[in-house]
């Protein structure tokens, strides 16, 4: 009942309230992004959602619009191409706020496995693809236990454990821990990887 009815309803209402309350600050952020460097306001990318359905995810642009070498390592801190405004947007996860629009559109949830890029499907086992049985989230179990400091395989273990235990109380715990991580930084909350719970 919670997974199929109350969770989507709560997602929609909270996303709508946050967007309405934060409208003025979001407009200020938008102006700062556009004033600092050339390029679009949003970074858009195709991601895989529930039941392997593709959708466009939205983020505030945090990098310059210039060509750069693209690697497989995560972008951390003041990496090449990250703008001054972008650094703070990334540090406090503000760049993720436009994904509240994805929540309103029904593509995402507030809590769930992070949406992956289509290319990752080729490297995933059928068991790991069970992460797509729920809507992807703005934050999730992997994000409060190491996030980009974990390997993808480690993140998938957390994702699968979340899918097995979707509940209001688990979502509430993830939200509260996410708030502390945003304020204090991810490195203070690194945990050892989980083993898959049978």
Average pLDDT of the chain is 89
Please name which of 125, 92, 83, 107 lies closest in space to residue 8, comparing C-alpha atoms: 107
Question: Residue 59's domain spans which residues?
Answer: 2-189
Least-confidence region, from 36-45, 48-57, 62-71, 168-177: 62-71
Q: Express each pLDDT in 113-167 by its tens digit.
A: 999 999 999 999 999 999 999 999 999 999 999 888 889 999 999 999 999 999 9
**Contact between residue 166 and residue 134 where contact means Cβ atoms under 8 Å apart:** yes
Q: Does residue 14 fall inside a structural domain?
A: yes
Q: How many domains does the chain have?
A: 1
Q: Which residue has the higher pLDDT, 65 or 24?
A: 24
Question: Does the residue 196 lie in any domain?
Answer: no
Q: Is residue 195 part of a domain?
A: no
For residue 197, being part of any structural domain is answered with: no
161 with 194: CB under 8 angstroms? Answer: yes
Looking at the domain assignment, is residue 194 inside a domain? no
Predicted structure pTM score: 0.86
In a domain, 130, yes or no: yes
Percent of the residues in the chain that have a pLDDT greater than 90, as a whole number: 78
- Measure the CA–CA gap between 2 and 189, rounded to whole angstroms: 28
Q: What pLDDT does 64 receive? A: 87
The string of DSSP letters for 102-168 reads HHHTTS-EEESSPPBPGGGGGG--TTGGGGGGS--EEE-TTTTTTGGGS-HHHHHHHHHHHHHT--H
Going by C-alpha positions, the residue among 179, 173, 181, 171 that lies closest to residue 112 is: 171
In a domain, 147, yes or no: yes
Let me know if residue 198 belongs to a domain: no
The model's pLDDT over 76-126, given as tens digits with 9 standing for 90+, comes to 556 668 999 999 999 899 999 999 999 999 999 999 999 999 999 999 999
Answer whether residue 194 shows pLDDT above 50.
Answer: no
Whole-angstrom distance, CA of residue 107 vs CA of residue 59: 14
């Amino acid at each position: 009942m919670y997974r199929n009815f109350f969770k989507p309803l709560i997602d929609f209402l909270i996303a709508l309230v946050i967007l309405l309350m934060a409208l003025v600050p979001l407009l200020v952020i938008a102006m700062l992004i556009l004033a600092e460097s050339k390029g679009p306001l949003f970074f858009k990318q195709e991601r895989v959602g529930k039941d392997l359905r593709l959708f466009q995810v939205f983020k505030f642009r945090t990098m310059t619009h210039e060509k750069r070498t693209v690697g497989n390592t995560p972008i951390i801190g003041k990496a090449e191409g990250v703008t001054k405004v972008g650094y703070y947007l990334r540090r406090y996860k503000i760049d993720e706020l436009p994904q509240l629009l994805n929540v309103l559109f029904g593509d995402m949830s507030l809590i769930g496995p992070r949406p992956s890029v289509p290319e990752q499907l080729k490297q995933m086992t059928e068991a790991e693809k069970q992460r797509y049985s729920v809507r992807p989230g703005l934050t999730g179990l992997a994000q409060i236990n190491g996030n980009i400091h974990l390997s993808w395989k480690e993140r998938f273990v957390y994702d699968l454990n979340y899918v097995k235990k979707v509940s209001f109380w688990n979502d509430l715990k993830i939200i509260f821990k996410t708030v502390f991580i945003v304020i204090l930084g991810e490195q203070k909350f690194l945990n050892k990887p989980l083993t898959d719970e049978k």
